[in-house]
Amino acid sequence: MIVAIDGPAGAGKSTVARMVADSRGWTYIDTGAMYRAVTLLALEQDIALDDEEELGQLAGNAEIGFKPGSEGVPRVFAGCREVTADIRRQDVTHSVSQVSAHPEVRRAMLEKQRRLLESGDTVVDGRDIGTVVCPGADVKIYLTATVAERAGRRRLELEEKGDAISQEQMEREIRERDEYDSSRRVAPLKAADDAVVIDTTEMNIDQVVAAVTEIIDKAQEGAAG
């Protein structure tokens, strides 16, 4: 079974996807981490973020993989080098939308992501999983929340890492990324027509996981019946 979880930044999709996969012993694929890895490599190699051809070649040649980590959090690798922490740098966060918007980059990553989905029961999260990467997913879920709530979550994450940012600035960055992701030419951020939309604004993480788990259970029961 393939479970696709999409949604904007700060909606909780990565945490939920990881927890659901971990509870069932399924594979978890974080496609956002894959785009972040390409962005990190581009920044390190001083590739212009508007150079679609070179970025596409970089994405196609990059060997991006995952290994099990603690508490179900996968370790991310670019070749033999672990980049789990580096891909969460602020410069990567600020650049990843621009890199991932290029059609050549998305084409290269699409091939890699579809190969990973051949591993069996999988929970995969991103922004175009149910619409582009795996439109035939058994379960499609779209997580969302208000800008204020999503910004607050991201701000707390950064504060835990020692990075201070105001709520106002974070809300501005969230809105800018939402606009960029939803208006890009290729694979824009949007809910699949047959996705179950869950607004997580008033929900804690356990409640969201429970809601997603219930949807998966019903899908499995329907398939079995």
Is the domain of 105 the same as that of 198?
Answer: no
Is the domain of 105 the same as that of 192?
Answer: no
Is the domain of 190 the same as that of 140?
Answer: yes
118 DSSP assignment: G
The whole-number pLDDT of residue 185 equals 85
Taken in order 206, 154, 58, 183, the sign of the CA dihedral is: positive
The domain tally of the chain equals 2
- CA–chain centroid gap for 16, Å, is 11
Write the burial class of residue 181 (CB in 10 Å: 0-12 exposed, 13-18 middle, 19+ buried): buried
CATH of the domain at 103: 3.40.50.300
Is the domain of 128 the same as that of 194?
Answer: yes
Is the domain of 126 the same as that of 106?
Answer: no
Asked which of 87, 119, 151 is the last residue of a domain, the reply is: 119
Tokens for 55, please give them. Answer: 């970025």
Is the domain of 171 the same as that of 75?
Answer: no
Is the domain of 135 the same as that of 224?
Answer: yes
Is the domain of 19 the same as that of 36?
Answer: no
Phi/psi at 50 (5° precision): -105, 5
Taken in order 80, 15, 163, 34, the sign of the CA dihedral is: positive
Three-state secondary-structure class, residue 168 = helix
The whole-number pLDDT of residue 157 equals 86
Is the domain of 84 the same as that of 104?
Answer: yes
Query: Which residue segment(s) compose the domain that 63 sits in?
Result: 31-119
Asked which of 102, 119, 136 is the last residue of a domain, the reply is: 119
Closest CA to 93 of 148, 37, 29: 37
Per-residue pLDDT of the chain (225 residues; tens, 9 = 90+): 999 999 998 999 999 999 999 999 999 999 999 999 999 999 999 999 999 999 999 999 999 999 888 777 889 999 999 999 999 998 999 999 999 999 999 999 999 999 999 988 999 999 999 999 999 999 999 999 999 999 999 999 888 888 888 999 999 999 999 998 899 888 899 999 999 999 999 999 999 999 999 999 999 998 876
Is the domain of 61 the same as that of 105?
Answer: yes
Phi/psi at 82 (5° precision): -80, 130
Asked which of 84, 119, 154 is the last residue of a domain, the reply is: 119
Is the domain of 178 the same as that of 88?
Answer: no
Is the domain of 168 the same as that of 200?
Answer: yes
pTM for this model (two decimals)? 0.89
